[in-house]
Chain A
């Protein structure tokens, strides 16, 4: 690995100043489980890292009806937080299936999102939970819906100096349930395909539905057509069968080291079906 400088700002404004000064030569680092691995593999070689670990403003979770997660919240914390487990089950499930204990002890939700892998496990849950992101730069902050954040494999709508500050998730509606499922070579590996679903049921009828899949398109993908198929009726085997076939038409996976295009297409339908079933079960609990 090439030599690099390592800066440890203690506030957002200090981080912005450093990044403006070092523009082009520096990248932010959170837990480092993507950045430092890429540097060791020689895929990137920045002259400097600007660590976000010392910035208090990026830490902590706050309940305000919904929940606000600082971007430096660790997967370790999401996995263990009882409030997250009870209401934002898809998020808890994604956190507890991400990698292994050593990685979860340092990896952050912000790092997972900003790295913008199409397979990022925290993305599908946040899509189905209607999350919004607070981005902040030297000029101020802006809030955007989760879907506008990802612009391609490894790319986001963040401006050069901007930082993802906070993830905001509204309180789930009554009578709703949400779930996350993932297929990896082993359960805790980077996903071959992952999926999340949310359903809100009233008198056996689905009033609102959200579905998202990952690792089958250039960005984590919300499946609006599937949501429309599910909303307005009951969720039975016949519908789930139709959903499974339709998902396979909507995705555009690639072949890589983890899987083939054909296999991904095949299992994406099955995973969406499973996520919907589990969300339904949780809505009825």
Chain B
């Protein structure tokens, strides 16, 4: 079974004919060549595939592609502003050592984005809860939490 899906991807109207068994992650990576979202576990455990659908963070590895028809999808690539300017969250991750190997980073940043959109001044505990669906094997999380704190300050100022 196939279907023509139309949705907004990082601000642009797009469409694609996709098979019914595809998850959003595969469509993003294979059809649209957006390799920010990654496949870690493929089962909802690691958050490497996190993207926003209508502003809410979801695991794109478990999100049926048919369901994004008519919706708005944002990946880490969509955070880049005019003139290739990084989002304050991305900048903070670079400046404060929130990135090591980088595999978890796109998902981590999208969780941070969803958190800060809803709660611009999160406490440390709220930050930890906000990224509780994202695993990182490298950093030990301290610099990631720090980066998100700094990003919140920067966005606020």
Contact = CB atoms under 8 A, between A and B. Distances in A.
Interface of A: 1-6, 8, 29, 32-33, 36-37, 40-41, 49, 51, 53, 76, 99-103, 105-106, 186, 188
Interface residues of B, number: 27
A188 B44 contact: no
Interface in B63-119: 63-64, 66-67, 111, 114-115
B138 to A, nearest CB: 19
Given A6-B66, A102-B50, A41 B43 contact: yes
B44 A103 contact: yes
Contacts, number: 71
A50 B21 CA distance: 12
B19 A32 contact: no
Contacts of B56: 76, 105
Contact of A103 (B19, B59, B67): B59
B44 A37 contact: yes
Main secondary structure of the interface of A (DSSP, over half): loop
Given A36-B62, A37-B62, A101-B130, A53 B67 contact: yes
Interface of B: 1, 19-21, 23, 42-44, 47, 50, 56-59, 62-64, 66-67, 111, 114-115, 129-130, 132-134
B111 A101 contact: yes
Contacts of A51: 64, 66-67
Contact of A106 (B58, B111, B114): B58
B114 A1 contact: no
A99 B50 CA distance: 15
Contacts of A8: 66-67
A36 B58 CA distance: 14
Contacts of A33: 44, 62
Contacts of B63: 32, 106
A40 B23 CA distance: 11
B47 A102 contact: yes
Given A2-B21, A4-B20, A102 B64 contact: no
Given A6-B1, A100-B47, A106 B62 contact: yes
Nearest to A106: B58
Contacts of B57: 101-102, 105
Contact of B133 (A1, A49, A76, A103): A103
